[in-house]
Amino acid sequence: MIKLQHIEHAFTLGHRGRQRSVPVLRDINLTVGEGEIVTLIGRSGSGKSTLLHVIGGFIRPTQGMVQIAGSDVTSYSEGQWADFRRRHLGVVFQNFQLIPSMTAYENTELPLVLQGVPAHVRRKQTMELLEKLGIAEYAEHYPSELSGGQQQRAGIARSLILDPPILLADEPTGSLDSENEEQFLKLLQSINKERNITLLIITHDEKVASIGNRRLRIEDGQLLDSVQKTKMEVIRS
């Protein structure tokens, strides 16, 4: 589902005439198969967020190839990436990125609205998903009226409403307490099992990283190791 070949990225700092290039990703090669849960753990500044943003099309790599769902997306324009994400990728952010002026229902429904899905179909799909994620009773609440865990579930609902085959999660438990973190990790495993959705999760937390059936570590922009578990072992854990 995801294939990276010799990915490198560097940021340019300074002003014209006094610029310098700062390497962030160094020769990254990674393949993530359909239905896998892959966790990528690293400290702040290790390059893990940059790598996720490359995979999600928010940053174009300096060098290398990005292939997702069989398509070479390396040189896609912003418009092409936006269309591709709607069809293939869901993204869960640490700070949820819910629209404050919209209810949990409206935030979740929004991708369907943008796709031109009829209202009665939107209503059915949105409420079914909110029910499945355990927040249907909060459908008419605004983000400011939801707990951190409820906001996170609303963010996941919006990411899943178009049924993407791949879900990217950027430090998804960083704003949650330990109880909500535990529930959230179980929810991700359940989504993976029921939908066979491919999950790529970046984190600095060993507990979060442990749910992956493959765990990768990144340091100084380089992938260092991989620990594999079978799906059955992940479910038992």
Mean pLDDT, the chain, rounded, equals 89
156 closest CA partner among 123, 184, 181, 179: 184
Question: In 3D, which of 129, 163, 158 has the Cα closest to residue 143?
Answer: 158
- Report d(CA 198, CA 124) in Å as an integer: 25
The CA-CA-CA angle for residues 23, 48, 26, to 5°, reads: 35
Instruction: CATH number of the domain at 102, please.
Output: 3.40.50.300
How far apart CA 77 and CA 61 sit, in angstroms, is 13
Structure tokens at 77: 């324009």
Range of the domain at 183: 2-236
Residue carrying the six token digits 């294939």: 3
Residues 6+ apart with CB under 8 A from 36: 1, 198, 199, 213, 214
Read out DSSP for 131-153?
HHTT-GGGTT--GGGS-HHHHHH
Give the mean model confidence (pLDDT) for residues 184-197: 89
Nearest to 114 by CA among 94, 85, 91, 143: 85
pLDDT greater than 80 at residue 97: yes
Q: What total number of domains does the chain contain?
A: 1
Q: What is the pLDDT of residues 103-135, one digit of tens each?
A: 999 999 999 999 999 999 999 999 999 998 889
Q: What pLDDT score does 225 carry?
A: 67
Express each pLDDT in 48-80 by its tens digit: 999 999 999 999 999 999 999 999 999 999 999
Q: How is residue 121 written in tokens?
A: 């179909």
Which residue type sits at 108? T
d(CA 164, CA 192): 12
Residue 227: predicted pLDDT = 53
- The answer on pLDDT for 232 being more than 80 is no
8 A C-beta contact, residue 3 and residue 31: yes
> So what's the pLDDT on residue 6?
96
Residue 230 has a pLDDT of: 43
d(CA 50, CA 45): 9
Please identify which residue in the block is written with the tokens 């499945």: 132
Report the side by side order of strands in the sheet with 89-92. Answer: 89-92, 166-170, 198-203, 37-41, 214-219, 222-228
Structure tokens at 65: 């190839």
Amino acid (one-letter) located at 191: I
Q: Quick one: DSSP state of residue 177?
A: -
